[in-house]
Structure 1
């Protein structure tokens, strides 16, 4: 995989102990953080040229910069003031980069109940949650939480559009869900409650890999819930299984996959195909500063036949041949929960093979980020890493497209001109079992593969509403798509 080399550019300022010597102000930790935010965005932010506050000549010296940013109440406010909103919907800053790094590996503080939140059908501000799945070895498993359960209360309080954030994603590690019955999209409490406790757990994103016999066809089914680099080998093993089974078709279920590593996304595309080794898979556009400081081939990602992952110091931690299927068509299950790297795989493959989508329009995140730390080279291993805080930035630094220079900022639409398939949402009243035909989305995909039919059975006819939030969006990794960097 090509990797972007972080720049060592001194624009106005030199990052070292000399900062104090060139300033009349003795900088506080907050001053250091504010300078880190401005400097990192000035160098790497995708829209740097469009934000007046990030102009190279914005500040004449350190004192001017420190004084200016002291008018803001927090580093988060400083960061927000320098973003190109509303076009930039996804850049974030975190106050604990260790939690962010863990989240990229599937490690989060969680009770193991992954869920979506839906507004009531009656148009009120009431909200209910539906359990998508439960993470193995979690408290939710121990408490017998199941996919398809509905809940509308937390600690006895009705969920609404204004309180769900505090009730579900606040500082408390414990809460009690009040279960509910579907009631035609306006759930009513049924008197059952379950108390859940959050702890640090790690989720294997390869949730299901199996072969489904459908008539005379063998169809591979992969449910993949995050593009996590530390699980690339397990993903490759799943494709070794599909290859050994000599499958006829493949379904990749990305309905709950918010994204992750661009390198893992490239590996997945190479596993599905194999006949395009070395050809262009995706291409990136960075700001002018980065483009001028890197060779052109740093901005392209090619199909590959090798997984080669390195750590922050450049040491190889995984190298193995990719198990490729050589397919000319693939089927994806998607929803609004499918974002960034999920969309990248679909879009990139669509330039080379036939791609069908079953589900709902994806989120529309064709931009990617890098993690910037407060050190000389903005890396965790960089010199003079500021140990007085744990702030890190995940700013958008690139836009990514397929080999035909196409991407879809409004999302990928099933059953559209570009992506044939079936438009169908989750049946919140009857979700079925993931990986089984009782799951309406999987059932419709299998029917579409065998018959090409787009019509719905009575089982699939139901009220469908867009979700307003989900548990994965509340994790530090959220819906980021990120590229690897090297020293």
Structure 2
């Protein structure tokens, strides 16, 4: 990718004239300048790109009022993150009275927007440089491994989902003490901000192991598990855990393997486990949607995309500086030359594979976000879609990356709605509520993926067999989680999970070449 940090200088004089014409009586004395430090220019660029391309640009104050160069931080990236956070809080969602990007665990931080140093694109293109595992609090005093990537350092060390973490680097003080608590911050730093970690782990058979794991690069497989269950009476359930919408080059072949297996085993019902899937590329979400959808829906609308009016009307000159290279056509193009209208971006179903099911169960949690939610929403008008788990993250918007110097800025530039006009699920999808049929229950992280006794999977298997979901304890429905129903509320669990997930990607990236005007 070609990168620019003097982006805001393009047509700058014209922009300033426009400001003067629009605000003749209140023309601000402070204007963008081509003079200043690199950080100054980057901060200006962030504001000006947001003023042009942000889905909710219309709520932003003028340059003088916002004054991007006044935003500071202990490091450059912290200053830029603070600026993006501030930009994200202006537009108010009338249904909640709070910003569209209101983030419950940390008010004032952006729920969707962020500044990245290139890590996101690297991970979504299949290369990860980490331990290959992630933690989750099952109870206040019960920290578990929630997943392990195949082939990762953690996998090679013999670590499995469901193992209980009893000590980290010799420290057993790891009980949940709030999203900003000393213990939680220690856990986060150990898992996400270090190159080596030593874990003391209790296995399901109560034996204990100690494993030291080092950060390393590996190619991730987003399909963590797949399996078929015979429920009798001609019903076979295909179960797949899909953990990230990585690029098609990585994900499609892995998905094909699982779905071909389902088809060859005569699967009649499908369970797609997206409980920890924070999203990724739109094109991969479309591919998974096409694997699941009934063949009869080919040619019908999958979803529509909505950009802001500046992009639709072609009033986005800064995007002309965002140049990309298409490896297929071997040609360069820029974001400013495309059609951003609704009609120009209709996506229709085109069935992939031979699996033919009329019902799909989606397992979701507060970590299920963006492209994962897009996939679910795409299918809601076309077939029987059931929801199992807890309320999803709530991100019906997406973005494309904007290069600014050595950084990439991700801010919502579009929203989506399915063929039934359903979208705007900013509060998430809540299983068992209106429009989201199913059952709400907690994530059973004590069991491995594919274990038929694991709580959320068991709901789907029982429904296929009996036509009913398994009973849920009233305490779990209303207030609490796990075996010690008094120790950890659903809201605490969600906040703890989101605090952990804030260190991982959550989003929906528009990675397709748009139609030219």
Instruction: Measure, in 2, the Cα distance between the counterparts of 1:373 and 1:180.
Output: 45
| Residues 24 and 425 of structure 1: CA distance in aligned 2, closer, same or farther (over 3 Å) | closer
Give the aligned partner of residue 342 of structure 2: 296
Q: Please give the alpha-carbon distance, in whole angstroms, between the structure 2 residues aligned to 1:445 and 1:207.
A: 19
Q: CA deviation at 1:360?
A: 1.6
Quick one: which of 239, 251, 255 aligns to 2:271?
A: 251
Equivalent residue for 2:129? 109
Count of aligned residue pairs for this structure pair: 419
Q: Cα deviation per residue 1:381-436 (whole Å; 9 max; x = unaligned)?
A: xxxxx4xxx211111112222222222222212223322222221234xx223113
Give the structure 2 partner of residue 203 of structure 1.
220
- How much has 1:207 moved relative to structure 2? 1.7
Cα displacement (A) at 1:277? 1.5
CA-to-partner distance for each residue in 1:225-284, whole Å, 9 max, x for gaps? Answer: 111123123323432332333321111111121111222212212211222122111122
Q: Which residue of 1 aligns with 2:302?
A: 281
Secondary structure, counterpart of 2:448 in structure 1: coil
Distance 1:268-1:171 versus aligned 2 partners, 3 A rule: closer
Q: Supply the distance in 1 between the matched residues of 2:399 and 2:34 (Cα, whole angstroms).
A: 33
Question: Which residue is equivalent to 1:482?
Answer: 509
Q: Give how far 1:224 is off.
A: 0.8
Distance 1:93 1:208, change over 3 A: same
The higher-RCO structure (CA 8 Å, 6+ apart) is 1
> Which is further off, 108-117 or 42-51?
108-117
Q: Give TM-score, length-normalised by structure 1.
A: 0.76
Structure holding more helix per residue: 2
Select 1:83's aligned residue among 88, 97, 102.
88
Partners of 1:278 and 1:304 within 8 A in 2 = yes
Q: How far apart, CA to CA, are the structure 2 residues paired with 1:400 and 1:325?
A: 26
Tell me if structure 1 keeps the 8 A contact 2:44–2:68.
no
CA deviations on 1:47-90 (whole Å, 9 max, x unpaired) are 1011114xxxx36xxxx99x861553422233333223532143
Question: 1:451: how far off?
Answer: 0.6
Q: Distance in 2 between matches of 1:234 and 1:355?
A: 23
- For residues 164 and 253 of structure 2, what CA distance do their matches in structure 1 show? 35
Which residue number corresponds to residue 313 of structure 1?
none
Give TM-score scaled by structure 2 length.
Answer: 0.72
Structure 1: how far apart are the matches of 2:135 and 2:36? 44
Q: Residue 453 of structure 1: CA displacement? A: 1.9
Aligned partner (choices 415, 418, 440) of residue 455 of structure 2: 440
2:147 matched residue in structure 1: 133
* Secondary structure of 2:413 counterpart: strand
- Residue 225 (str. 1) matches residue 248 (str. 2): no
CA deviations 1:199-244 (Å, max 9, x no partner) are 2233211122332222132221111111112312332343233233
The residue aligned with 2:382 is 352
* Local SS of the residue matching 1:212: strand
User: Match of 1:396, SS?
Assistant: coil
Asked if the contact 2:299–2:348 (Cα under 8 Å) also holds between the matched residues in 1, the reply is yes
1:388-399 equivalent positions in 2, closer than 5 A: 390-399=406-415
User: Equivalent residue of 2:52, what SS?
Assistant: helix
Conservation of the 8 A alpha-carbon contact between 1:90 and 1:396 = no
**Alpha-carbon spacing, 1:290–1:252, altered in 2? closer, same or farther (3 Å):** same
Show structure 2 runs of 5+ residues with no match: 1-6, 16-30, 74-78, 91-98, 102-109, 315-338, 477-481
In 2, distance between residues paired with 1:271 and 1:8? 42
Task: For 2:409 and 2:395, locate their aligned partners in 1 and report how far apart those are by CA, in whole Å.
Answer: 18
Structure 2 match to 1:12: 12
Report deviation, 1:470: 6.0
Q: Do the aligned partners of residues 361 and 436 (structure 1) sit closer, same or farther apart at CA in structure 2, a change above 3 Å counting?
A: same
Question: Tell me, which stretches of 5 or more residues in structure 1 are unaligned?
Answer: 1-6, 16-21, 121-126, 183-188, 306-321, 375-385
| 2:194 aligned with 1:172 | yes
Provide the C-alpha distance between the structure 1 equivalents of 2:253 and 2:158, rounded to a whole number of angstroms: 30
